[in-house]
Chain A
Amino acid sequence: MVNGFRPRTLREALQILSANNCTVMAGGTDLMVQRARGFSIRPDFDRPLVFIEPLEELKHSVRENGTLHLGPCMTLSDLLRHPAVPDPLKEIIGMMASPPTRNMATLGGNICNASPAGDTLPWLYAMNAKLKLQSAEKERIVAIEDFITGPKKTILQSDELLTGILVPDTRFHLNRYRKLGQRKGMSLTKASFLGMAEISGNTVTDIRIALGSVAPRIVRAAEIERSMLGRYVGDINAAAAVITERYQPLITPIDDARSTAMYRKKVSLDLIRQFLETLSGSPGTGTKSE
C-alpha cells in the first residue's frame, strides 16, 4: 500500500521531502486525472504522497511594499474570494474549471504542473512573477520563465516545494483577456491571450503581451514589447500588422484533439493585432486617433 504523509507545518513537510523520495500532492486535480488517463508522464503514485494543501503557511496572501505575495496552496476559489488578489487574475480564474474543481485546484499546482495550457501562467509571466523555492536546507528565488523549462518540466528539485509566489504590484489601465476553450469554464484551453498596457499622453509607457497554449511554453517577447515603449498609440495602431508579424515565429502550436494548429495560430495573431489596434481609444489617450 502506498504510504502518505500529512505534515502539520512547512518545516515538517520539507524534512519529509529531504528524507524520502515523495510525490507532492496539492489539490490533486492534475495528478489524479493524469493517473486516470495514463498520460505518458505519469505521476509516481508508488512513492509516498505528501499532502501539502492544508499547510496554513502556504495559504496566505498579502500585499506588502509593492509586492503581492500569493500562497501556493490557496485554491482557485480562495483566490477568487481574496481581497488582495487583483481583478485581472480573478477574471482569469473565474474562467478556469468549474466551482467544485476550483475548490480543490491550487495556484501552486497550476504553476508546478507546467502545462503550456496552465491558465494562470500568462498573467504570472506578464507580471514578471518570481517564485520562492524552499528545501530543508536552502531557499532560492527564481523568475517564473526560468522555473518552467518545457511542457511539464521545471527546475524544482525533489526535496523542494514552491512556497511563495511574488508578484510586483503593477496596475494597468488596459487589461484584456481572451480564452478559447471548447466549453466555457471546463476543458483545457485552446489558446489564451493576455494584453496589458499603460498609456499616458497618447504614449505607451508599459505594455505586456502573453499567450498560453500556443507553443511549448508561454509566449512573451520582452524585446517586441520594448520596441513599443514611448511610441504614440496612433503609430502602434498603424504598425499593428507589422508588430504582430514579429510574433509569428514564436507561435508554434501543435495539432491535438483540442484544436488545429492553424486555427490556434490565426486566432492568436488576430488577438494580438486587435489589442494593438485598440490601444488608441483607451484610457490615457486624449483624442481617439484614427
Chain B
Amino acid sequence: MIIEFRLNHEKRTIDIDPSARMLDVLRDDFGLTSVKEGCGEGECGACVILVDGRAMNSCILPAGAVCGKSVVTLEGFKHTKRYRAIENGFLKAGSVQCGFCTPGFVMATESLLNENPHPTDEEIKDGLSGNLCRCTGYNMIIQGVRLAIKEGEGLW
C-alpha cells in the first residue's frame, strides 16, 4: 500500500505492508533509532511518537494508519524550543539514567503539555502513566517535567 505522510516535517511516500508496525518502519526504513522497542505491546511507552501532535505507541500503530498524518519522532522534535525546555528540565532534575525510556518520556511530555500546559502533579502522573522507567523511580521525571514547564512558560 502506498502511504503518504509527513515525517519530521518532510513529505514522505513509501510502499509498504499497511500492517507493518510504525516502530519498525521508523527504525528500519528511516533509521530513526530514538524510537525504542521495550515491550512491543503498548505497555511501556519506549516507542512513543507524536501523530498529529498526540502521543501514540508506535509498536502497535499500523503503518496504514498514518496516511495523510504528521509523524514526529525525537529526531524531528529536538530542534524546537519546547524540546530545549524539556531537555533542560530533565537534565537539572536527573530524570535520565540509562536513557532507554527517555525519548518516550520526552514525547509523552510534549503531548501532555500540548493538551494541558499547566498540569497538576496528578495530571502529570496520568499523562506519563503509559511510560515505564526501570532506573529513576519516576519522582525525578515528574520533577523534570515541572522544571520544563517553568522554563518553557509560554511555549505550550
Contacts and interface: CB of A to CB of B under 8 A. Distances in A.
Contacts of B59: 32, 36
Interface stretch (B14-22, B72-80, B85-93, B145-153): B14-22
Contacts of A31: 62
A25 B64 contact: yes
B53 to A, nearest CB: 10
A117 B128 CA distance: 23
A159 interface: no
Given A77-B54, A97-B130, A29 B64 contact: no
B60 A33 contact: yes
Interface in B27-86: 40-43, 45, 48, 51, 54-57, 59-62, 64-65, 67-68
A74 to B, nearest CB: 14
B111 interface: yes
Most buried by A among B19, B40, B126: B19
B64 A49 contact: yes
Most buried by A among B48, B57, B108, B112: B57
B65 A185 contact: no
B67 A100 contact: no
A99 interface: yes
Given A6-B67, A25-B65, A103 B129 contact: no
A28 interface: yes
B7 to A, nearest CB: 18
Contacts of B61: 28, 32, 104
Contact of A99 (B16, B18, B68, B111): B111
Contacts of B130: 97-101, 185-186
B141 to A, nearest CB: 14
A19 interface: no
B111 A100 contact: yes
B60 A6 contact: no
Given A6-B67, A37-B41, A186-B129, A100 B21 contact: no
Contact of A104 (B19, B40, B60, B129): B60
Given A49-B64, A51-B62, 11 more contacts: A29-B60, A32-B62, A33-B41, A36-B41, A49-B18, A97-B130, A99-B127, A100-B45, A100-B130, A101-B60, A185-B126
Interface of A: 1-4, 6, 25, 27-29, 31-33, 35-37, 45, 49, 51, 53-54, 77, 94, 97-101, 103-104, 184-187
